[in-house]
């Protein structure tokens, strides 16, 4: 074998390997976007087709929806602050801002529960009452479930971040969780526009 062949340079390993966690979350969020799009299109399709019982115009009010919008949109900012604190290596800042985010998420769920109680008790609206009840509770119920899932993940990260901090892994997990939370907040913006503004 010639010396020239021995001097052939080896191929360098790729410097930008795909982050499996990020790819997985992106794929998950794409499927979730398709899922919520289906629910939102169904809600729009059946607006005004309930022949009896409560309707969006008679049952839905803006004050609680506006309060929920404030809670979630503010929680996006506090989630970003928590993520930034962890990137800087400040576990105290991370815990502080994540606590505020969790409290805002809980406030959203409490306000949602208060609205549902009013609709069920005062207006007699249930998921089986009419098309409005079916599409409304299905859409908002799945969104509330996603908020609950996000809060559960936050509590787990809150409890474990100190043990894995200041590793890159902790900041990476916070980043992925922030992506999910911002997605949930973005879905709420669409729900607010469709259900509480256009749909009334």
What string of pLDDT tens digits covers the 200 residues of the chain? 444 444 444 444 444 455 788 899 999 999 999 999 999 999 999 998 887 889 999 999 999 999 999 999 999 999 999 999 888 888 889 999 999 999 999 999 999 999 999 999 999 999 999 999 999 999 999 999 999 999 999 999 988 877 765 566 778 889 999 999 999 999 999 999 999 999 87
Domains contained in the chain, number: 1
Question: Is 190 a member of any domain?
Answer: yes
CATH label of the domain that carries residue 153: 1.20.120.80
Does 181 fall in a domain?
yes
Which pLDDT tens digit goes with each residue over 82-134?
999 888 888 889 999 999 999 999 999 999 999 999 999 999 999 999 999 99
Q: 73 in a domain, yes or no?
A: yes
Which pLDDT belongs to residue 18? 58
Domain residues for the domain of 125 are 61-200
Q: Give the Cα separation of 136 and 60 in Å (integer).
A: 10
Position 14 scores a pLDDT of 45
Nearest CA-CA partner of 183 in 147, 151, 155: 147
State the Cα–Cα distance between residues 97 and 77, nearest whole angstrom: 9
At 89 the pLDDT is: 81
Phi, psi of 51 (to 5 degrees): -85, -20
Q: Which residue has the tokens 């900012």?
A: 77
């Amino acid at each position: 074998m010639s010396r020239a062949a021995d001097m052939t340079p080896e191929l360098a390993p790729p410097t930008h390997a795909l982050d499996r966690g990020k790819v997985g979350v992106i794929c998950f969020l794409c499927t979730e976007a398709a899922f919520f799009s289906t629910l939102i299109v169904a809600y729009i399709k059946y607006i005004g087709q309930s022949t009896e019982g409560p309707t969006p115009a008679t049952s839905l009010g803006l004050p609680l929806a506006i309060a929920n919008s404030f809670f979630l949109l503010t929680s996006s900012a506090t989630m970003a602050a928590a993520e930034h604190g962890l990137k800087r290596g400040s576990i105290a800042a991370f815990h502080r801002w994540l606590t505020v985010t969790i409290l805002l998420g809980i406030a959203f769920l409490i306000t949602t529960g208060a609205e549902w109680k009013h609709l069920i008790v005062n207006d007699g609206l249930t998921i089986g009452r009419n098309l409005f009840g079916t599409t409304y509770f299905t859409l908002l119920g799945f969104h509330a479930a996603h908020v609950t899932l996000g809060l559960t993940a936050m509590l787990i990260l809150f409890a474990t971040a100190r043990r894995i901090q200041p590793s890159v892994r902790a900041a990476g997990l916070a980043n992925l969780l922030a992506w999910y939370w911002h997605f949930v907040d973005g879905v709420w913006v669409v729900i607010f526009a469709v259900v509480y503004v256009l749909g009334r």
